[in-house]
Amino acid sequence: MALNWYRFSSPATFYPLAGRLVPLFGWGAAVLAAVGLWLGFVVAPTDFQQGEVYRIIFIHVPSAWMSMFLYVVMAFWGALLLGFNTRLSGMMAQAIAPTGALMTFIALWSGALWGRPTWGTYWAWDARMTSELILLFLYFGIIALRQAIGDPRRADRACAVLALVGVVNIPIIYFSVKWWNTLHQGASVKLTGSSMETTMLAGMLVMSFAFWFYAIAVVLARVRTIVLERERGAAWVAELPEARSA
Amino acid sequence: MSGMALRSPAPAAFEAAAGRTADGALAGLRWAAARDLRLALRSRAELGVQLLFYVIVVALFPLSMTPERNLLATMGPGVLWVAALLASLLSLPRLFATDHADGTLEQIALSPYPLEALVAGKVLAHWLTTGLPVALLAPLLALQYYLDAGSVAVLVAGLLLGTPILSLLGAVGAALTLGLRGGGGSLLALLILPLYVPVLIFGAGAVDAARAGLGATANLSLLGAGLALALVGTPFAAAAAVRIALD
């Protein structure tokens, strides 16, 4: 049976659906994080080069992956908004931005803490660190642009344009910085084979799913509040049980 | 795009004469460029002040350190490029903001010419009055940084390729921040400067590579590729942003 996606593009139908999904993904994130941290801190062996300090990888890499992934997802919703003019797309993009910025910040912060014992410095002008920093600025730019625009519909569309321009730029920024200077260790996880111990890899992947589920849960919870805020005048909001009891 | 619906309907004959043909787009571009150029040249003092800003920023750096010959020659290309970025950023509000403030932009958007072409024309005028003078002034300032003739040639070539990208990307940011609280000044910087990073890296990198004897071709080619990409994409993004601002 084909799922009717258009049905859920209306905030009124999406709101209860998101409400059902939030605990699902929230608990999923908690369980995955517990398993991932157990794998990472108990099962995975000590690294023969870096010792115990490498274990920050279980936070660092998932957050770095999510920071980039979330930007692409945000741009995707922006493209949907500009293409189909669906209100919900703009709200989704709005809800993703803070979580994306948070992930970027965690990636930078954990990277600094990891860099100090292994490279002897908190910060290096290395390609991936620098492009991650620029990604943080891009997130801040989108959040600031939304703050500056009063009308939410205009803010949605302006942020969508900016996100799309940014998403074209991200690979260019990445490669420009990469060719400019590089010090970061080569990517340990490649699509063809990996240079990591299996348990380490498993821990990292489970943690990535934990971060992913967390992001979905938080974004859906946030989008619910955005829906309520923007649709507060609508009849269906007034008929919600939580609105009646308040 | 929802743009078609937003554009005002024009009489059919007028549409055919000026509208969505290649000739129409070119005519629109030429008209917008000529108009903005004429306006810019009427306030030459403003253009002069912007160039002076560039000169002053470049002159500040040696004052903040020991003006040692080697150090300055190493830093020079980067400093000149950063100053070019800032000069471009500072002049961006001129692109749309004054037209937006007095309602002209709305009338421009109502014309049957494609808005993308009109925006491209305005960007062309912006580059001719900011990017081009900056590139032409660079050799003079490069002397203060003891750059040799070969490096200066690469620097100017890079600026000629890179400053149009700054104007094109900047147009998107300028249109997005039209009429916002705070006038867009520092917000515009936050939106646009991260996007300027590749231009800065390739532009300054070209001079560094030339000085290191590696040849500047790779960096200059990348700047050229960036310019081609920006030429194709940004007028559409900027026009979309203008429509959003006028909505």
How high is the ipTM of this complex? 0.85
Contact B155/B77 with Cβ under 8 angstroms? yes
Name the closest residue on chain B to residue A181, using Cα atoms.
B201
Q: Measured between CB atoms, does A143 come within 8 Å of chain B? A: no
Q: Measured between CB atoms, does A158 come within 8 Å of chain B? A: yes
- Tell me the nearest-neighbour CA distance from B48 into chain A, angstroms: 30
Q: Is A152 helix (H, G, I), strand (E, B) or coil?
A: helix
For residue B177, give Cα distances in angstroms to A94, A142, A167, A233: 17, 11, 19, 28
Q: Is A47 helix (H, G, I), strand (E, B) or coil?
A: strand
Contact A207/A33 with Cβ under 8 angstroms? yes
**Residue A124, pLDDT score:** 81
Q: Measured between CB atoms, does A75 come within 8 Å of chain B? A: no
Long-range CB contacts for residues A35-42, cutoff 8 Å, separation at least 24: A35/A206, A35/A210, A36/A203, A36/A204, A36/A206, A36/A207, A36/A209, A36/A210, A37/A203, A37/A207, A39/A199, A39/A202, A39/A203, A39/A206, A40/A200, A40/A203, A40/A204, A40/A207
- Quick one: how far is CA A152 from the chain centroid? 22
Residues from chain B that touch A86, judged by Cβ atoms under 8 A, are none
**Residue B22, pLDDT score:** 73
Do the Cβ atoms of B187 and A145 come within 8 Å?
yes
Do the Cβ atoms of A172 and B226 come within 8 Å?
yes
Instruction: For residue B168, name the pLDDT band (cuts at 50, 70, 90).
Output: very high
**Residue A186, pLDDT score:** 55
pLDDT in tens, B24-44: 888 899 999 999 999 999 988
Name the closest residue on chain A to residue B197, using Cα atoms.
A173
Q: Give φ, ψ of A47 to 5 degrees.
A: -75, 135
- Tell me the nearest-neighbour CA distance from B11 into chain A, angstroms: 27
Contact A163/A132 with Cβ under 8 angstroms? no
Instruction: For residue B9, name the pLDDT band (cuts at 50, 70, 90).
Output: very low
**Residue B88, pLDDT score:** 93
CB within 8 Å of A18: residues ≥ 6 apart: A220, A221, A223, A224, A227
Instruction: For residue B8, name the pLDDT band (cuts at 50, 70, 90).
Output: very low
Q: Rounded to whole angstroms, how far apart are CA atoms A91 and B245?
A: 19
**Is pLDDT larger for residue B153 or for residue A46?**
B153
Q: Which of B190, B234, B244 sits opposite A144 (nearest CB)?
A: B190
**Is pLDDT larger for residue A49 or for residue B169?**
B169
Mean pLDDT of A1-22: 81
Is the pLDDT at A41 greater than 50, yes or no? yes
**Residue A34, pLDDT score:** 94
pLDDT in tens, B48-60: 998 999 999 999 9
Nearest to B80 by CA among B158, B172, B149: B158
Is the pLDDT at A26 greater than 90, yes or no? yes
Instruction: For residue B151, name the pLDDT band (cuts at 50, 70, 90).
Output: very high
Do the Cβ atoms of B197 and A83 come within 8 Å?
no
Is the pLDDT at A190 greater than 90, yes or no? no
In order, the DSSP letters of chain B are -THHHHSPP--HHHHHHHSSSHHHHHHHHHHHHHHHHHHHHHTHHHHHHHHHHHHHHHHHHHHTS---HHHHHHHHHHHHHHHHHHHHHHHTHHHHHHHHHTTHHHHHHHSSS-HHHHHHHHHHHHIIIIIHHHHHHHHHHHHHTT--HHHHHHHHHHHHHHHHHHHHHHHHHHHHTTT-GGGGHHHHHHHHHHHHHHHHHHHHHHHHHHHTTS-SHHHHHHHHHHHHHHHHHHHHHHHHHHHHHH-
Residues from chain A that touch B233, judged by Cβ atoms under 8 A, are 165, 168
Is the pLDDT at A27 greater than 80, yes or no? yes
Is the pLDDT at A169 greater than 60, yes or no? yes
Q: Rounded to whole angstroms, how far apart are CA atoms A89 and A160?
A: 10
- Quick one: how far is CA A59 from the chain centroid? 13
Is the pLDDT at B85 greater than 50, yes or no? yes
Mean pLDDT of A51-67: 89
Q: Measured between CB atoms, does A202 come within 8 Å of chain B? A: no
Percent of all residues in chain A with a pLDDT value above 70, rounded to a whole number: 91
* Residues of chain B that touch chain A, judged by Cβ-Cβ distance less than 8 Å: 1-2, 169, 172, 176-177, 180-182, 187, 190-191, 193-195, 197-198, 201-202, 205, 222, 226, 229, 233-234, 237, 240-241, 244-245, 247
Q: Give φ, ψ of A45 to 5 degrees.
A: -75, 165
Is the pLDDT at A72 greater than 90, yes or no? yes
Q: Which of B191, B226, B234 sits opposite A162 (nearest CB)?
A: B191
Q: Measured between CB atoms, does A176 come within 8 Å of chain B? A: yes
Do the Cβ atoms of B198 and A169 come within 8 Å?
yes
**Residue A195, pLDDT score:** 62
Q: How would you class A205 by CB atoms within 10 Å of its CB: exposed for 0-12, middle for 13-18, buried for 19 or more?
A: middle
Q: Is A151 helix (H, G, I), strand (E, B) or coil?
A: coil
Q: Rounded to whole angstroms, how far apart are CA atoms A130 and A114?
A: 16
Do the Cβ atoms of A177 and B201 come within 8 Å?
yes
Instruction: For residue B17, name the pLDDT band (cuts at 50, 70, 90).
Output: low
Nearest to A21 by CA among A201, A177, A221, A182: A221
Mean pLDDT of A167-191: 69
Name the closest residue on chain B to residue A171, using Cα atoms.
B198
Is the pLDDT at B152 greater than 50, yes or no? yes
Name the closest residue on chain B to residue A164, using Cα atoms.
B237
Q: Measured between CB atoms, does A165 come within 8 Å of chain B? A: yes
